[in-house]
Amino acid sequence: MPRPPYRAVRRIRALATGLVLVTLLGPSARIGAQGFTGPASLRELTRDADAVVRARITAAVAEIEAGGRTYPIVHAEVLATLKGAAAPGPIAFANVGTGSATFVDDEEVVLFLRHVERVAELAATPLQSKLRYVAIPNAGEVLVLTDAVRPAITDAIRRYAVVETIPDPESRGEALRQLSLELLKSGDPVLVTSVMRDFGPGGDAGALTLADLPTMVPLIESSRVPIGSRIAMVAELERRGLIFGPARWVRLLRTSQGSDLLAVLQAVSEHPSAGVDATVAPMLQHADLAIATAAATALGVPGNVEAVRPLAACLGRDDQPLRMAALRSLARIGTQSARQALELVAARHPDPTLRQRAEIAAITLARRNGTTLAPTLGLSATDAALATAPGLAPAYDAR
């Protein structure tokens, strides 16, 4: 089972939209009891659920005994049925598996439910004689509704449920594409994020064409759309060859500020280009240390010769985080000029910690490329031992 990239519990309150998402595990977590990889899109959840309901939680924590075992369950009051045959009124459902959601009493939520017999680990247990449904864990993500978002979310789910009933695959695919584009056009942050999960690699709403760009491009430009969704759109459209990615990344860099700019800087290292480098390099002088440091990290792309000089200049700055980020990026760039800059730091820099780490990085690059170091380094025995130790390069990059 793959290990999720993080396990921190997060509760994200989107104040502007009134929607709350509760995420317990990272996006690559695998849901144990039901074999579900999440978090999924509204489209995927609606398709995979036997019943989708709008409900109010009446008892978030309860238990039921079946066959000598105790199972966690949740009690709720169904307010409206969006898909399936679950009738309005009281309902109880199992809430099991790694990554199962945490519900809160009196919250109004959307529940995506499967029949117990469809879950292999539960089908052969006596539980199916006592309960009809089990919640789809979806990496612990819970859709909590308020008046502000209820109409848009429930309407989207109902329309997804209708689309899946279309028998002809080609007609169904076209209907899904049209609905996806309409939801993107709405600009609703939750719907946009959900649709982008479908448009990603392996998603099932992949019929984007050049004809769809007039709908997509304004969303990339809109500050109303969360920066994560805008980044995802640019990356996916670039991957499909529908836009010229470098120009779009530069545009995002130039029009973003604060935390949005930090998010774009984190993304552009995966999409390097000369235009991106030329836009990022001046940010090394940014008054916000976090942005300057993120810029130094973003320039650390293997072989990025043009970034060596501005990064080397950062090593003389007073800000320790910026110096360390620049040093790590020079090590990742790994060219001869980058190694020479590291050697110079190792020989002359007044900061002993920076000197030591520059020494280690320079030796690692020299050994990797089969070259020799400048004779002025005069490495200590301890530093030399560290530099020749197996697995040094990954350990250094992780600092």
Structure tokens at 22: 């509760």
From 9-23, 284-298, 307-321, 340-354, the region with the lowest mean pLDDT:
9-23
Q: Do residues 179 and 191 make contact, with C-beta atoms less than 8 angstroms apart?
A: no
Which domains are delineated in the chain?
A: 10-154 (2.40.50.120), 299-399 (no CATH)
Say which DSSP state 287 is in: S
**What average pLDDT does the segment 8-26 reach?**
28
Residue 341 CA to residue 312 CA, distance in Å, equals 6
Q: In sequence order, what DSSP letters do the residues of 111-162 get, joined into one string?
A: EEEEEGGGSHHHHTSGGGGT-SEEE--GGG-EEE--TTTHHHHHHHHHHHHH
Residue 148 CA to residue 334 CA, distance in Å, equals 51
Question: How many C-beta neighbours within 10 Å does residue 77 have?
Answer: 14
Tens digits of per-residue pLDDT, 108-146? 999 999 999 999 888 888 998 899 999 999 888 999 999
Under DSSP, is residue 69 helix (H, G, I), strand (E, B) or coil? strand
Residue 307 CA to residue 281 CA, distance in Å, equals 7
Tens digits of per-residue pLDDT, 191-246? 887 887 787 655 555 556 677 788 888 888 888 788 888 898 898 788 878 889 99
How far from 87 is each of 33, 81, 136, 165, 312, CA to CA, in Å? 26, 7, 19, 20, 67
Q: Do residues 388 and 367 make contact, with C-beta atoms less than 8 angstroms apart?
A: yes
E strands of the chain, at which residues?
10-14, 19-23, 30-31, 36-37, 51-66, 69-83, 89-94, 108-115, 133-135, 142-144
Under DSSP, is residue 167 helix (H, G, I), strand (E, B) or coil? coil
Residue 385 CA to residue 363 CA, distance in Å, equals 10
Is the four-CA dihedral 13, 15, 18, 19 of positive or negative sign? negative
**What average pLDDT does the segment 151-166 reach?**
95
Tens digits of per-residue pLDDT, 73-99? 999 999 999 999 999 999 999 999 878
Tens digits of per-residue pLDDT, 254-309? 999 999 999 999 999 999 999 999 999 999 999 999 999 999 999 999 999 999 99
pLDDT of 9 strictly over 50 = no
Structure tokens at 10: 């997060």
Query: How high is the pLDDT of residue 121?
Result: 86
Residue 94 CA to residue 92 CA, distance in Å, equals 7
Element of type H or E holding 399: none
Task: Point out which residues pair with 77 in neighbouring strands.
Answer: 56, 90
- Asked whether the bond before 88 is cis by omega within 30 degrees of 0, the reply is no
Residue 219 CA to residue 226 CA, distance in Å, equals 10
Structure tokens at 74: 């949740």
Q: Is 9 exposed, middle or buried (0-12, 13-18, 19+ CB in 10 A)?
A: exposed
Residue 76 CA to residue 101 CA, distance in Å, equals 14
Is the four-CA dihedral 259, 265, 267, 273 of positive or negative sign? positive
**3-state SS string for 171-188:** HHHHHHHHHHHHHHHHCC
Query: How high is the pLDDT of residue 24?
Result: 23
Query: How high is the pLDDT of residue 191?
Result: 86
Structure tokens at 111: 């529940």
3-state percent breakdown (helix, strand, coil) of the chain, nearest 5: 50, 15, 35
